[in-house]
Amino acid sequence: MNAHRPVHRVAIVGTGTIGASWATHYLARGFDVTATDPGPGAEAALRSYVDNAWAAAAALGLAPGGSPDRLSFTTDMRQAVADADFVQENAPERPELKVKLFADIDDATAPDAIIASSSSGITMSVIQAECRHPQRTVIGHPFNPPHIIPLVEVVGGTRTAPETIQGAMSFYAAIGKKPIHLKKELPGHVANRIQAALYREVVHLVDQGVLDVADSDDAVSWGPGLRWGVMGPHLLWHLGGGEGGIQHFMDTLMPRMVASWQELGTPEFTPELEEKIVRGVLEEADGHSVDELAARRDTMLSALLAVRAEHDPSGPSATAGRPVKEGS
Protein backbone atom coordinates (compact mmCIF):
# COMPACT_ATOMS: atom_id res chain seq x y z
CA MET A 1 0.00 0.00 0.00
CA ASN A 2 1.05 3.63 -0.43
CA ALA A 3 2.72 5.54 2.38
CA HIS A 4 0.26 7.40 4.57
CA ARG A 5 -0.05 11.13 4.22
CA PRO A 6 1.24 13.63 6.81
CA VAL A 7 -1.51 14.42 9.31
CA HIS A 8 -2.74 18.00 9.43
CA ARG A 9 -6.52 17.52 9.60
CA VAL A 10 -8.34 14.96 11.73
CA ALA A 11 -11.97 13.95 11.23
CA ILE A 12 -14.02 12.87 14.25
CA VAL A 13 -16.99 10.69 13.29
CA GLY A 14 -19.39 10.44 16.22
CA THR A 15 -19.23 13.11 18.93
CA GLY A 16 -20.51 11.41 22.05
CA THR A 17 -18.35 11.36 25.17
CA ILE A 18 -15.43 9.52 23.55
CA GLY A 19 -15.58 11.43 20.28
CA ALA A 20 -15.78 14.79 22.05
CA SER A 21 -12.82 13.88 24.25
CA TRP A 22 -10.81 12.77 21.21
CA ALA A 23 -11.68 16.08 19.52
CA THR A 24 -10.38 17.95 22.57
CA HIS A 25 -7.13 16.02 22.46
CA TYR A 26 -6.52 16.58 18.75
CA LEU A 27 -7.29 20.29 19.09
CA ALA A 28 -4.87 20.56 22.02
CA ARG A 29 -2.23 18.86 19.88
CA GLY A 30 -2.55 21.60 17.26
CA PHE A 31 -4.61 19.89 14.55
CA ASP A 32 -7.50 21.16 12.50
CA VAL A 33 -10.47 19.01 13.49
CA THR A 34 -13.66 18.45 11.54
CA ALA A 35 -16.35 16.64 13.52
CA THR A 36 -19.58 15.07 12.36
CA ASP A 37 -22.57 13.51 14.07
CA PRO A 38 -26.19 13.21 12.87
CA GLY A 39 -27.69 13.61 16.32
CA PRO A 40 -29.84 16.65 17.17
CA GLY A 41 -27.87 19.16 19.22
CA ALA A 42 -24.61 17.31 18.57
CA GLU A 43 -22.61 20.40 17.63
CA ALA A 44 -23.68 22.38 20.69
CA ALA A 45 -22.94 19.42 22.97
CA LEU A 46 -19.52 18.92 21.38
CA ARG A 47 -18.50 22.56 21.71
CA SER A 48 -19.71 22.61 25.31
CA TYR A 49 -17.64 19.51 26.08
CA VAL A 50 -14.51 20.99 24.50
CA ASP A 51 -14.96 24.26 26.41
CA ASN A 52 -15.39 22.43 29.72
CA ALA A 53 -12.49 20.02 29.08
CA TRP A 54 -10.04 22.57 27.72
CA ALA A 55 -8.52 23.57 31.06
CA ALA A 56 -7.66 19.95 31.85
CA ALA A 57 -6.21 19.43 28.36
CA ALA A 58 -4.21 22.66 28.58
CA ALA A 59 -2.83 21.68 31.99
CA LEU A 60 -1.05 18.78 30.28
CA GLY A 61 0.55 21.20 27.83
CA LEU A 62 -0.62 22.56 24.49
CA ALA A 63 1.18 21.95 21.22
CA PRO A 64 1.97 24.99 19.04
CA GLY A 65 -1.28 26.17 17.49
CA GLY A 66 -3.44 24.17 19.89
CA SER A 67 -6.81 25.92 20.06
CA PRO A 68 -10.53 25.08 20.27
CA ASP A 69 -11.00 27.60 17.44
CA ARG A 70 -9.68 24.99 15.01
CA LEU A 71 -12.84 22.91 15.42
CA SER A 72 -15.41 22.79 12.64
CA PHE A 73 -18.62 20.76 12.48
CA THR A 74 -20.87 19.35 9.79
CA THR A 75 -23.70 16.84 9.75
CA ASP A 76 -22.47 15.65 6.34
CA MET A 77 -20.17 12.72 7.12
CA ARG A 78 -18.73 12.51 3.62
CA GLN A 79 -17.84 16.20 3.72
CA ALA A 80 -16.22 15.78 7.15
CA VAL A 81 -13.84 13.04 6.04
CA ALA A 82 -13.21 14.13 2.45
CA ASP A 83 -10.01 16.05 3.22
CA ALA A 84 -9.06 14.26 6.44
CA ASP A 85 -5.57 12.85 6.86
CA PHE A 86 -6.65 10.68 9.81
CA VAL A 87 -10.15 9.58 10.82
CA GLN A 88 -11.16 8.65 14.38
CA GLU A 89 -14.56 6.91 14.39
CA ASN A 90 -16.63 6.77 17.60
CA ALA A 91 -20.09 5.54 16.60
CA PRO A 92 -22.30 3.35 18.86
CA GLU A 93 -21.15 -0.22 19.46
CA ARG A 94 -23.42 -1.97 16.96
CA PRO A 95 -21.67 -4.23 14.43
CA GLU A 96 -24.11 -3.65 11.58
CA LEU A 97 -23.80 0.13 12.02
CA LYS A 98 -19.99 0.04 12.20
CA VAL A 99 -19.68 -2.13 9.07
CA LYS A 100 -21.87 0.20 6.99
CA LEU A 101 -20.29 3.36 8.43
CA PHE A 102 -16.74 2.18 7.76
CA ALA A 103 -17.61 1.27 4.19
CA ASP A 104 -19.01 4.78 3.71
CA ILE A 105 -15.99 6.45 5.34
CA ASP A 106 -13.65 4.32 3.25
CA ASP A 107 -15.49 5.37 0.10
CA ALA A 108 -15.35 9.09 0.95
CA THR A 109 -11.79 9.36 2.30
CA ALA A 110 -8.51 9.68 0.41
CA PRO A 111 -7.01 6.17 0.06
CA ASP A 112 -3.76 7.15 1.83
CA ALA A 113 -5.54 8.30 5.03
CA ILE A 114 -5.78 5.94 8.01
CA ILE A 115 -9.25 5.18 9.36
CA ALA A 116 -9.21 4.23 13.05
CA SER A 117 -12.08 3.02 15.20
CA SER A 118 -12.45 3.67 18.91
CA SER A 119 -14.53 0.50 19.22
CA SER A 120 -14.19 -1.06 22.64
CA GLY A 121 -15.57 -4.48 21.81
CA ILE A 122 -15.99 -5.10 18.07
CA THR A 123 -12.98 -6.43 16.18
CA MET A 124 -11.60 -4.72 13.08
CA SER A 125 -12.01 -7.92 11.07
CA VAL A 126 -15.77 -7.47 11.52
CA ILE A 127 -15.78 -3.69 11.01
CA GLN A 128 -13.69 -3.70 7.80
CA ALA A 129 -15.78 -6.43 6.11
CA GLU A 130 -17.29 -4.19 3.41
CA CYS A 131 -14.43 -1.71 2.92
CA ARG A 132 -12.82 -1.38 -0.51
CA HIS A 133 -9.53 -0.39 1.15
CA PRO A 134 -9.53 -2.48 4.35
CA GLN A 135 -5.73 -2.41 4.49
CA ARG A 136 -5.82 1.13 5.94
CA THR A 137 -8.36 0.43 8.71
CA VAL A 138 -7.36 -0.23 12.32
CA ILE A 139 -8.62 -0.20 15.89
CA GLY A 140 -7.34 2.74 17.94
CA HIS A 141 -9.20 2.16 21.19
CA PRO A 142 -8.64 4.83 23.86
CA PHE A 143 -9.23 4.79 27.57
CA ASN A 144 -11.74 7.32 28.88
CA PRO A 145 -11.23 10.27 28.79
CA PRO A 146 -8.91 10.25 25.76
CA HIS A 147 -7.84 13.87 26.23
CA ILE A 148 -6.23 12.87 29.54
CA ILE A 149 -5.57 9.10 29.65
CA PRO A 150 -2.65 8.27 27.30
CA LEU A 151 -3.42 4.59 26.62
CA VAL A 152 -4.50 3.58 23.09
CA GLU A 153 -4.90 -0.07 22.10
CA VAL A 154 -3.91 -0.60 18.46
CA VAL A 155 -4.93 -3.80 16.68
CA GLY A 156 -5.57 -4.59 13.04
CA GLY A 157 -8.05 -6.87 11.34
CA THR A 158 -7.25 -9.78 9.09
CA ARG A 159 -6.94 -7.42 6.11
CA THR A 160 -5.13 -4.55 7.83
CA ALA A 161 -1.68 -3.85 6.38
CA PRO A 162 1.30 -3.95 8.77
CA GLU A 163 2.20 -0.45 7.56
CA THR A 164 -1.13 0.82 8.87
CA ILE A 165 -0.49 -0.59 12.32
CA GLN A 166 3.00 0.92 12.32
CA GLY A 167 1.62 4.24 11.07
CA ALA A 168 -1.11 4.35 13.72
CA MET A 169 1.37 3.47 16.47
CA SER A 170 3.77 6.20 15.32
CA PHE A 171 1.00 8.77 14.98
CA TYR A 172 -0.51 8.14 18.42
CA ALA A 173 2.92 8.20 20.08
CA ALA A 174 3.77 11.48 18.33
CA ILE A 175 0.65 13.19 19.69
CA GLY A 176 1.26 12.32 23.32
CA LYS A 177 -0.51 8.96 23.59
CA LYS A 178 0.86 5.66 24.90
CA PRO A 179 -0.04 3.13 22.21
CA ILE A 180 0.23 -0.60 22.78
CA HIS A 181 0.10 -3.11 19.94
CA LEU A 182 -2.24 -6.07 20.38
CA LYS A 183 -0.88 -8.87 18.25
CA LYS A 184 -4.16 -10.79 18.29
CA GLU A 185 -7.78 -9.68 18.00
CA LEU A 186 -10.14 -10.53 20.82
CA PRO A 187 -13.47 -9.04 21.94
CA GLY A 188 -12.97 -6.25 24.46
CA HIS A 189 -9.29 -5.92 23.51
CA VAL A 190 -7.02 -5.98 26.60
CA ALA A 191 -7.41 -3.14 29.10
CA ASN A 192 -11.17 -3.53 29.46
CA ARG A 193 -10.76 -7.27 30.00
CA ILE A 194 -8.22 -6.61 32.74
CA GLN A 195 -10.46 -4.17 34.56
CA ALA A 196 -13.47 -6.48 34.06
CA ALA A 197 -11.56 -9.28 35.78
CA LEU A 198 -10.78 -7.01 38.72
CA TYR A 199 -14.35 -5.73 38.92
CA ARG A 200 -15.74 -9.26 38.92
CA GLU A 201 -13.87 -9.97 42.15
CA VAL A 202 -14.87 -6.60 43.62
CA VAL A 203 -18.53 -7.39 42.89
CA HIS A 204 -18.08 -10.85 44.42
CA LEU A 205 -16.69 -9.36 47.64
CA VAL A 206 -19.56 -6.86 47.86
CA ASP A 207 -22.09 -9.62 47.17
CA GLN A 208 -20.60 -11.79 49.92
CA GLY A 209 -20.81 -8.94 52.42
CA VAL A 210 -17.05 -8.81 52.90
CA LEU A 211 -17.09 -5.02 52.51
CA ASP A 212 -19.39 -2.29 51.26
CA VAL A 213 -19.18 -0.41 47.97
CA ALA A 214 -17.22 2.57 49.27
CA ASP A 215 -14.65 0.38 51.03
CA SER A 216 -14.25 -1.77 47.92
CA ASP A 217 -13.42 1.37 45.93
CA ASP A 218 -10.93 2.44 48.60
CA ALA A 219 -9.37 -1.03 48.59
CA VAL A 220 -8.48 -0.50 44.92
CA SER A 221 -7.74 3.22 44.66
CA TRP A 222 -5.74 3.59 47.89
CA GLY A 223 -3.85 0.32 47.54
CA PRO A 224 -2.89 -1.41 44.30
CA GLY A 225 -4.40 1.41 42.24
CA LEU A 226 -1.77 3.84 43.52
CA ARG A 227 1.01 1.44 42.54
CA TRP A 228 -0.57 0.68 39.16
CA GLY A 229 -0.56 4.42 38.50
CA VAL A 230 3.22 4.28 38.20
CA MET A 231 4.09 0.66 37.30
CA GLY A 232 2.34 -2.39 35.89
CA PRO A 233 1.88 -5.67 37.79
CA HIS A 234 4.85 -7.54 36.31
CA LEU A 235 7.36 -4.85 37.23
CA LEU A 236 5.76 -4.44 40.65
CA TRP A 237 6.13 -8.19 41.29
CA HIS A 238 9.79 -7.78 40.29
CA LEU A 239 10.10 -5.27 43.13
CA GLY A 240 8.08 -7.56 45.39
CA GLY A 241 10.71 -10.24 44.94
CA GLY A 242 13.29 -8.11 46.77
CA GLU A 243 16.92 -8.58 45.80
CA GLY A 244 16.03 -11.75 43.92
CA GLY A 245 13.59 -9.83 41.75
CA ILE A 246 10.99 -11.50 39.57
CA GLN A 247 12.64 -14.92 39.72
CA HIS A 248 12.47 -14.96 43.52
CA PHE A 249 8.85 -13.83 43.33
CA MET A 250 8.01 -16.64 40.91
CA ASP A 251 9.79 -19.23 43.06
CA THR A 252 8.35 -18.21 46.43
CA LEU A 253 5.19 -16.13 46.04
CA MET A 254 3.70 -17.09 42.71
CA PRO A 255 2.62 -20.62 43.76
CA ARG A 256 0.55 -19.11 46.59
CA MET A 257 -1.05 -16.63 44.19
CA VAL A 258 -1.85 -19.36 41.67
CA ALA A 259 -3.52 -21.38 44.42
CA SER A 260 -5.64 -18.36 45.37
CA TRP A 261 -7.03 -18.11 41.82
CA GLN A 262 -9.27 -21.07 42.59
CA GLU A 263 -10.87 -19.07 45.42
CA LEU A 264 -11.83 -16.07 43.30
CA GLY A 265 -15.55 -15.60 42.92
CA THR A 266 -17.95 -15.72 39.98
CA PRO A 267 -20.90 -13.74 41.29
CA GLU A 268 -24.41 -14.09 39.96
CA PHE A 269 -25.43 -10.56 39.05
CA THR A 270 -28.97 -10.52 40.42
CA PRO A 271 -31.33 -7.50 40.52
CA GLU A 272 -30.74 -7.39 44.26
CA LEU A 273 -26.96 -7.16 43.78
CA GLU A 274 -27.40 -4.46 41.15
CA GLU A 275 -29.58 -2.45 43.55
CA LYS A 276 -27.01 -2.90 46.32
CA ILE A 277 -24.21 -1.53 44.14
CA VAL A 278 -26.28 1.38 42.81
CA ARG A 279 -27.32 2.36 46.32
CA GLY A 280 -23.74 2.12 47.55
CA VAL A 281 -22.36 4.20 44.68
CA LEU A 282 -24.91 6.96 45.22
CA GLU A 283 -24.06 7.04 48.90
CA GLU A 284 -20.36 7.23 48.06
CA ALA A 285 -20.99 10.06 45.56
CA ASP A 286 -22.53 11.98 48.49
CA GLY A 287 -24.68 14.26 46.35
CA HIS A 288 -21.94 15.25 43.90
CA SER A 289 -22.99 15.23 40.25
CA VAL A 290 -21.33 13.10 37.57
CA ASP A 291 -19.78 16.26 36.10
CA GLU A 292 -18.37 17.29 39.49
CA LEU A 293 -16.89 13.85 40.07
CA ALA A 294 -15.44 13.76 36.55
CA ALA A 295 -13.80 17.15 37.10
CA ARG A 296 -12.27 15.88 40.35
CA ARG A 297 -11.01 12.76 38.58
CA ASP A 298 -9.51 14.73 35.72
CA THR A 299 -7.73 17.19 38.02
CA MET A 300 -6.08 14.37 39.95
CA LEU A 301 -5.21 12.46 36.78
CA SER A 302 -3.56 15.55 35.30
CA ALA A 303 -1.48 15.95 38.45
CA LEU A 304 -0.47 12.28 38.38
CA LEU A 305 0.51 12.51 34.72
CA ALA A 306 2.61 15.58 35.46
CA VAL A 307 4.47 13.65 38.15
CA ARG A 308 4.98 10.70 35.81
CA ALA A 309 6.31 13.00 33.09
CA GLU A 310 8.80 14.45 35.57
CA HIS A 311 10.10 11.06 36.70
CA ASP A 312 9.61 8.89 33.58
CA PRO A 313 11.22 10.41 30.47
CA SER A 314 10.30 7.32 28.45
CA GLY A 315 6.59 8.04 28.87
CA PRO A 316 4.30 9.79 26.38
CA SER A 317 5.05 13.41 25.51
CA ALA A 318 2.15 15.68 26.42
CA THR A 319 3.36 18.52 24.21
CA ALA A 320 3.77 16.54 21.00
CA GLY A 321 1.96 18.03 18.03
CA ARG A 322 1.49 18.15 14.30
CA PRO A 323 2.36 17.66 11.49
CA VAL A 324 3.05 13.96 11.71
CA LYS A 325 4.28 11.73 8.89
CA GLU A 326 2.77 8.28 9.28
CA GLY A 327 5.28 5.51 9.79
CA SER A 328 8.16 7.90 10.41
Residue 270: Cβ-neighbour burial (10 angstroms; 0-12, 13-18, 19+): exposed
Please, where in the chain does CATH 1.10.1040.10 lie? 191-311
Q: What's the average model confidence in pLDDT over 116-130? A: 97
The pLDDT value recorded for residue 312 is 83
Residue 189 contacts residue 155 (beta carbons within 8 Å) = yes
For 213-260, how does the pLDDT look when each residue is reduced to its tens digit (9 = 90+)?
Answer: 999 999 999 999 999 999 999 999 999 999 999 999 999 999 999 999
Span 313-324, average pLDDT: 62
Residue 74 has pLDDT above 60, yes or no: yes
**HEC readout, 194-222:** HHHHHHHHHHHHHHCCCCCHHHHHHHHHC
Beta bridge partners of 73: 35
Q: Please state, in angstroms and rounded to a whole number, the distance separating the CA atoms of residues 10 and 31.
A: 7
Per-residue pLDDT of 38-65, as tens digits, reads 999 999 999 999 999 999 999 999 999 9
What residue type is assigned to position 287 of the chain?
G
Question: pLDDT-derived band of residue 1, with 50, 70 and 90 as boundaries?
Answer: very low
Mean of the per-residue pLDDT values for the chain?
A: 94
Q: What are phi and psi of 148, to 5 degrees?
A: -125, -50
Can you give the pTM of this predicted structure? 0.90
pLDDT at 320: 58
Q: Show the 3-state SS of 84-119.
A: CCEEEECCCCCHHHHHHHHHHHHHHCCCCCEEEECC
User: Which residues in the chain are classed under CATH 3.40.50.720?
Assistant: 6-189+315-325
Quote the pLDDT of residue 326.
44
Class of domain 6-189+315-325: alpha beta
Q: For residues 145 and 55, what is the distance between their CA atoms, to the nearest angstrom? A: 14
Spatial separation of the C-alpha atoms in residues 276 and 19, rounded to whole Å? 32
Q: Which of 181, 202, 178, 201 is nearest to 190 (CA)?
A: 181
Tell me the DSSP string of 247-290: HHHHHHTHHHHHHHHTT-------HHHHHHHHHHHHHHHTT--H
Q: 191-311: which CATH architecture?
A: Orthogonal Bundle (1.10)
